[in-house]
Structure 1
């Protein structure tokens, strides 16, 4: 399926805004989250930490932004910074997410180079695969929402109220809206 330039720009803007919506929800949660909860360990092995999930999300967006900042650079999700301050300081996490949000909107809203090469490592063997910025933005939206669902569950376990749409994929929200419309129409 081939899209005209303006149709592709509109589609990319929608994908960017899907990422922006998720990041915005996460920033809002972080602004209301007690700092100690951001660093609190959950689970029997104490390995689940909200801050680690936030840092992981940031690392993935940073990888895409780094790869798209220099022509010919490889996207590499495995070789991440894992900056400790982003998983221990909620304000640092929220600030970095705000920066990422601004960069996504400025770099990818409208016309941009779409072709991208990604380094994928399997069994210690690296291979370069072809992908696209658009495809990676779709991946990052789903990846972010997946981690937000875990963050939301951890926050709720600690007694924090989380909005009903937090960590819910847009496709699920659209499905629920269609179900609600169908039920109201049949009533």
Structure 2
């Protein structure tokens, strides 16, 4: 079960690679869209931070999602972000035959300060995948506001979104 699960995570992250390969650097860095004035680069950096927090905690079974590097260079360079995402995709290969139900502790701030909860890697990686798709939706909106069309017309949609499900049925 781990193999298919991990390949699904890698498939989601591959969407980032595909986007970064077709996106001009000025679009990647553009933070002119209100009301939050965030850039695609900041969202990509955030996705990378999330995965790096997971990997950083694996050796001690303590994953701290509040302990993030926030490397600004990832926000500015689509090439550096692409290389980091490729590293994440590659690192996920190590977990294709791993017992993802193994117990871990997850540290996060749920709004009232840091808390520690019991979890497993299925749950944490599932959260990372959903989190990535959520940020893809924001990125898709930023692209739309900037008038940028991309090749993947389903970028930012969860695979279970009815229009995506229906269209995938038709394309088979």
| TM-score normalised according to structure 2 size | 0.87
| Residues 26 and 175 (structure 1), Cα distance of their counterparts in 2 relative to 1, 3 Å cut | closer
* Structure 2 partner of 1:134: 122
Q: Unpaired segments of 5 or more residues in structure 1?
A: 1-9, 182-187
Say whether the 8 Å CA contact 2:61–2:103 is kept in structure 1. Answer: no
Say whether the 8 Å CA contact 1:51–1:87 is kept in structure 2. Answer: yes
Q: How far, CA to CA, are the matches of 1:19 and 1:179 in structure 2?
A: 19
Structure 1 segments of 4+ aligned residues over 6 angstroms from their partners: none
> Higher mean Cα deviation, 123-132 or 91-100?
123-132
Structure showing greater radius of gyration is: 1
Q: How far, CA to CA, are the matches of 2:14 and 2:122 in structure 1?
A: 20
Q: How far, CA to CA, are the matches of 2:32 and 2:66 in structure 1?
A: 25
| TM-score normalised according to structure 1 size | 0.80
Q: How far, CA to CA, are the matches of 2:96 and 2:108 in structure 1?
A: 27
* Structure 1 partner of 2:136: 148
Size of the aligned set, in residue pairs, is: 168
Higher percent of residues as helix: 1
Output the aligned Cα RMSD: 2.2
Equivalent residue in structure 1 for 2:21, among 31, 53, 58: 31
* Structure 2 partner of 1:20: 10
